[in-house]
């Protein structure tokens, strides 16, 4: 693997390269650019010749830097080898799921996040057996705890105008929200993803705090079928074909659009 680091510490990315290359390889060279922008934790782009990983200095110097690098190398691996999770158009799947429906902007944005979770499951299948999972579990626990603590008293209101570029794949996101609180529906889906991922790799004891946090997140979104989302993430086929993955993505999108708070025209 050919990895070049620009603008920041090389050790986490070269160490991750050495570990990743014991089991897998990348045909195209990787350039890592460390930026000062703390809002852009990681973003990956590809062309026919190379991969580019842009990462914030905060992330590149964090305790999770090596794990983040492994995670992104795994995405690159799937991209090079044409894994269905990385070749399926998210826009196509969402179009199939929303046909005939009026969809609230915030829920449409969340569908892209759900698609990213499904990509992440397959990326994490590649590398999570290479290193202990303690730091990943701690990160998921802290992130979920912060989101649960930030839940709103009343449903959040969105301004409905403007977009910004999402950290990884350029999907649209609302530019602002009138309340700063975490959205209960997507927080519950994120909790389902976190539990499914950890259970998929046998990272949790039965009394781990993540279960309590997930229960709290699910309670805050009573109209969303938390258990169904957890099962969908956990049961993703380890080696799907294109049709199987497309169906899984469309099904997850439909399930989210028809659950939670009431739909509204965009």
Dump pLDDT digits (tens) for 221-262: 999 999 999 999 999 999 999 999 999 999 999 999 888 554
Does residue 218 lie within any of the structural domains?
Answer: yes
CA distance 242 to 112: 18
Residue 157, in any domain of the structure:
yes
Maximum distance among all alpha carbons in the chain?
Answer: 51
| Shared domain check, 96 and 53 | no
Give a yes or no: residue 79 inside a domain: no
Q: Output phi, psi for 22, to 5 deg.
A: -70, -20
Q: Do 142 and 251 have their domain in common? A: yes
Q: 30 vs 42, which has greater pLDDT?
A: 30
Question: What's the pTM value of the predicted model, to 2 decimals?
Answer: 0.84
115 and 20 in a common domain: no
10 and 60 co-located in one domain: yes
- 32-80 pLDDT per residue, tens: 999 987 666 778 888 889 999 999 999 999 999 999 999 999 999 999 9
Cβ contact 257:101 at 8 Å: yes
Q: Which of 64, 98, 113 is the last residue of a domain?
A: 64
Shared domain check, 91 and 56: no
Tokens of 219: 């309670």
Nearest to 145 by CA among 222, 210, 227, 63: 210
Instruction: Answer whether residue 128 is part of any domain.
Output: yes
| 112-145: pLDDT as tens digits | 999 999 999 999 999 999 999 999 999 999 999 9
Query: Confidence band (pLDDT; 50, 70, 90) for 181?
Result: low
CA distance 241 to 87: 11
Count of domains observed in the chain: 2
Asked if residue 131 belongs to a domain, the reply is yes
Under the banding of pLDDT at 50, 70 and 90, the label for residue 193 is very high
Residues 115 and 162 in one domain: yes
Instruction: Say whether both 91 and 195 belong to one domain.
Output: yes
- 110 and 222 in a single domain? The answer is yes
Does residue 15 fall inside a structural domain? yes
Tell me which residue of 146, 153, 151 sits closest to 181, measured CA to CA: 151
Residue 53 lies in a domain: yes
Per-residue pLDDT band at 169 (split at 50, 70, 90): very low
40 shares a domain with 161: no
Residues 42 and 153 in one domain: no
Cα–Cα distance measured from residue 41 to residue 55, given in angstroms and rounded to the nearest whole number? 5
**Side-chain half-sphere CA neighbours of 137 within 13 A:** 18
Asked whether residue 263 is assigned to any structural domain, the reply reads no
Extended strands (E) in the chain: 3-6, 30-35, 42-46, 51-56, 163-165, 172-174
Provide the residue range defining the domain that includes 192.
86-257
Q: What is the pLDDT of residue 182?
A: 75
Mean pLDDT calculated for residue range 195-223: 96
Average of pLDDT values for 83-87? 95
Whether 112 and 23 share a structural domain:
no
- Whether 144 and 186 have beta carbons less than 8 Å apart is answered as no
Chain-centre distance for alpha carbon 69:
15
Supply the pLDDT for residue 258.
Answer: 84
Question: Do 145 and 97 share a structural domain?
Answer: yes
């Amino acid at each position: 693997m050919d990895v070049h680091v620009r603008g920041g510490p090389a050790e986490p990315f070269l160490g991750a390269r050495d570990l990743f290359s014991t089991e897998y390889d990348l045909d195209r060279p990787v350039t890592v650019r460390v930026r000062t922008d703390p809002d852009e934790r990681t973003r990956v782009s590809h062309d026919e010749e190379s991969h580019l990983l842009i990462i914030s200095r905060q992330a590149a110097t964090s305790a999770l830097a090596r794990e983040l690098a492994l995670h992104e190398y795994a995405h690159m691996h799937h991209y090079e080898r044409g894994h269905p999770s990385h070749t399926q158009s998210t826009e196509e799947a969402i179009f199939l799921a929303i046909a005939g429906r009026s969809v609230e902007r915030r829920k449409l944005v969340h569908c892209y996040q759900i698609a990213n979770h499904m990509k992440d499951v397959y990326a994490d299948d590649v590398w999570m057996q290479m290193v202990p999972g303690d730091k990943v579990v701690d990160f998921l626990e802290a992130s979920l705890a912060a989101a649960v603590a930030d839940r709103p008293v009343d449903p959040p209101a969105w301004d409905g105008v403007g977009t910004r570029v999402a950290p990884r794949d350029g999907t649209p996101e609302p530019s602002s929200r009138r309340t700063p609180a975490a959205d209960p529906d997507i927080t519950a889906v994120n909790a389902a993803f976190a539990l499914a991922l950890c259970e998929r790799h046998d990272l949790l004891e039965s009394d781990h705090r993540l279960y309590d946090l997930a229960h709290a997140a699910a309670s805050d979104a009573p109209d969303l079928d938390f258990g169904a989302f957890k099962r969908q993430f956990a049961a993703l086929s380890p080696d799907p074909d294109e049709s199987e993955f497309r169906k899984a993505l469309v099904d997850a999108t439909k399930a989210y659009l028809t659950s939670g708070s009431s739909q509204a025209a965009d």
